[in-house]
Structure 1
Amino acid sequence: MFELLRALDACHSMGIMHRDVKPHNVMINHSQRKLRLIDWGLAEFYHPGQEYNVRVASRYFKGPELLVDYQMYDYSLDLWSLGCVFASMIFRKEPFFHGHDNYDQLVRIAKVLGTEELFQYLTKYEIVLDPRFNEILGRHTKKRWERFVHAENQHLVSPESLDLLDKLLRYDHAERLTAREAMEHVYFRAIVQDHGGRIPVGAQQNNDGTKKPGSTTPSTNPT
């Protein structure tokens, strides 16, 4: 996960959204201990305030913004997809949100994150929900992540992993961690310490595309 975040941090700092983060687009060379994020066919340069096509990303990894046709999304879309991958890993449930179509996909998300929170998100961004959701969405309270822990996956779960997951899988894209912020999360403390307490170079950037103070443009290849 840390290496995947490094790849996203690098591409985001170069102004690129991957828009199709999923397990099938991650290649790992175990002998060389290298990870590569592949298939950049849906990648796009990000420009603040621009509208983008919502017909991107694979269904199980689509962010809520895509499912409600919100076109002014940003790099945080990739962090939602990464959060879905992370949830699948620690809970041993692949995929974590298993919708039968794009409408059902949002329903599956709402059953975990809650419908009240969904409507708050829609109101904040003045998004009108497709009428087809009226009959299928229902009402659901937000679930605690601990509910998904059981005997077969409890060895993969920790309070730190659940906290990281909670900060990635947010309806509101503005509330999700950036790739750099996720790398700085306590869940990865041991890895950062192995790097001498420093995170490998990559421009620190907000999800809206603005660089954070002290940021520099990296020469790292996102793959």
Structure 2
Amino acid sequence: MSDFNCTPVEPRSEVRDGHHWTIVTVKKARKMQELPFTYRVMGPIGKGTFGTVQKICTPDGEHYAMKQVDFDPRYKNREVSIMRILDHPNCVRLHYYYLDRDPYMELSVRLIMDLFPTSLSAVIVQNRRKREDIPEFYIRLYLYQLLRGVAYMHSEEIAHRDIKPQNILIDPARGRLKLCDFGSAKQLKEGEINIAYICSRFYRAPELILGNVKYDCSIDTWAVGCVFAEMFLLRPIFLGESSLEQFTEIIRILGTPTPEQMEKLHPMFPKDLKKRSPISLHKHLRRTNCQSLSLLIKLLQYAPDKRIRCWDAMAEPYLDELRKPGLRLPDGGDLPPLFDFTVRELDQNPVLNQLLIPRERNSPRRGSASRRGSAKKHEKKRA
């Protein structure tokens, strides 16, 4: 059932220069080629629902994150198979992996991946403690890269199913962002039944809260909207202590879903909910403007089919700032790669490509307003 050899490797230990090194045989994630790999553990990074993560280094000074996940040969390990598919600048890259057996004969998979300095969660907590807002430049920069990474996954029909600030890695010095922790990810098929009790509660789409087992990748879009709002609020926008309270919180802010929206969230759920008007999102969210609010509303739609696609969201006016010629990081450094699109990415909605690619990369170009008007005209015709 698994994508790797179920025979555990036999680690060896060596002491060099006063350090204990582990030598194992690993497989390269892409080519499946076996080769020796030497590392030593530098210390813990974090612990999640499905495994622990440690920082490791190699004798030549390279640093990685190593995730340890319990292994049961009776079940398919989706995380390995999905990470072997993913190849995108905004998704953590799996470099090597191997199967290990501890002294108690328990099996675990070791995933050796990109190492990043911190997470969006840590950035939010740090700013909240300092009572400092996240600069809007970085909100735009991080949101754009998050949307791009999720859009790429969705183009492969893969839903992450656990998007939250803890699973978004950040390199603040270089402004880079990568999605991580694909332990809940799954390649979704239309009409297939999937578990509804998935995704952390504060970022769980309403159809999941209601127990709908036939959902699509738009559950990630809802979670992205929640993360977007949290970067302004420095706390989750919907804070429920149970699934029922979570749905109540969503209704308190967005208003009661209509019967038509309830039908799309869960066909078997009662439609006659007590009517409640939405509060003003502009009042609820600090520092938002018309453009950021417009995008947030498009992400946090009740009806899954009405949520904006992540790729389309990248072309929204709120993110035009990132496409300005000569834009640099606040410290004068280069922006991370934002426009190195693959043909596969550009095929997601070609009509938007003229909006997504900065003017100097796609010359000659018409003015921004005429380009945006052309795209909107095409969208109306397609609808």
TM-score range, shorter chain: 0.7 to 0.9
Structure 2 equivalent of residue 144 of structure 1:
280
Which string of whole-angstrom CA distances, capped at 9 and with x for unpartnered residues, describes residues 102-138 of structure 1?
A: 11111111112212x24331235662337xx99xx74
In the alignment, structure 1 residue 110 sits paired with structure 2 residue 239: no
Amino acid in structure 1 at the alignment position of 2:216: D
CA distance in structure 2 between the aligned counterparts of 1:194 and 1:5, rounded to whole angstroms: 21
Amino acid in structure 2 at the alignment position of 1:94: R
* Range that drifts further, 70-79 or 118-127: 118-127
SS in 1 for 2:162: coil
The answer on whether the counterparts of 1:68 and 1:127 sit within 8 Å (CA) in structure 2 is no
- The partner residue of 2:305 within 149, 170, 174 is 174
CA distance in structure 2 between the aligned counterparts of 1:48 and 1:212, rounded to whole angstroms: 20
CA distance in structure 2 between the aligned counterparts of 1:199 and 1:193, rounded to whole angstroms: 16
Aligned-residue offset at 1:62: 0.3
Relative to structure 1, is the Cα distance of residues 75 and 125 closer, same or farther in structure 2, using a 3 angstrom cutoff?
Answer: closer
Gaps of 5+ in 2: 1-142, 328-337, 353-383
Amino acid in structure 1 at the alignment position of 2:281: W
The two structures have a TM-score, normalised by structure 2, of: 0.47
The answer on whether the counterparts of 1:16 and 1:45 sit within 8 Å (CA) in structure 2 is yes
RMSD value, Cα: 2.8
Looking at secondary structure, tell me which structure has more helix per residue.
1
* Range that drifts further, 45-54 or 118-127: 118-127
In the alignment, structure 1 residue 8 sits paired with structure 2 residue 150: yes
CA distance in structure 1 between the aligned counterparts of 2:155 and 2:326, rounded to whole angstroms: 21
Amino acid in structure 2 at the alignment position of 1:53: I
Relative to structure 1, is the Cα distance of residues 34 and 15 closer, same or farther in structure 2, using a 3 angstrom cutoff?
Answer: same
Larger RCO, structures 1/2 (Cα 8 Å, 6+ apart): 1
CA distance in structure 1 between the aligned counterparts of 2:351 and 2:253, rounded to whole angstroms: 37
The answer on whether the counterparts of 1:118 and 1:171 sit within 8 Å (CA) in structure 2 is no
Q: Which has the larger radius of gyration?
A: 2
The answer on whether the counterparts of 2:312 and 2:349 sit within 8 Å (CA) in structure 1 is no
Relative to structure 1, is the Cα distance of residues 148 and 7 closer, same or farther in structure 2, using a 3 angstrom cutoff?
Answer: same
Relative to structure 1, is the Cα distance of residues 102 and 193 closer, same or farther in structure 2, using a 3 angstrom cutoff?
Answer: same
The two structures have a TM-score, normalised by structure 1, of: 0.79
In the alignment, structure 1 residue 123 sits paired with structure 2 residue 263: yes
Aligned-residue offset at 1:15: 1.8
- The partner residue of 1:73 within 208, 212, 215 is 215
CA distance in structure 2 between the aligned counterparts of 1:191 and 1:101, rounded to whole angstroms: 38
Aligned-residue offset at 1:195: 9.1
CA distance in structure 2 between the aligned counterparts of 1:122 and 1:61, rounded to whole angstroms: 19
Structure 2 equivalent of residue 185 of structure 1:
316
Count of residue correspondences: 199
Gaps of 5+ in 1: 206-210, 216-223
Matches within 5 A, 1:57-68: 57-68=199-210
CA distance in structure 2 between the aligned counterparts of 1:186 and 1:80, rounded to whole angstroms: 19
Amino acid in structure 2 at the alignment position of 1:64: P
The answer on whether the counterparts of 2:197 and 2:209 sit within 8 Å (CA) in structure 1 is no
CA distance in structure 2 between the aligned counterparts of 1:169 and 1:4, rounded to whole angstroms: 16
Matches within 5 A, 1:193-204: 193-194=324-325, 200-201=341-342, 203=345
Relative to structure 1, is the Cα distance of residues 62 and 33 closer, same or farther in structure 2, using a 3 angstrom cutoff?
Answer: same
Relative to structure 1, is the Cα distance of residues 2 and 124 closer, same or farther in structure 2, using a 3 angstrom cutoff?
Answer: closer
Q: Percent identity?
A: 29
Which string of whole-angstrom CA distances, capped at 9 and with x for unpartnered residues, describes residues 166-196 of structure 1?
A: 0000110100011101101111012134599
SS in 1 for 2:345: coil
CA distance in structure 2 between the aligned counterparts of 1:58 and 1:129, rounded to whole angstroms: 22
- The partner residue of 2:236 within 95, 98, 104 is 95
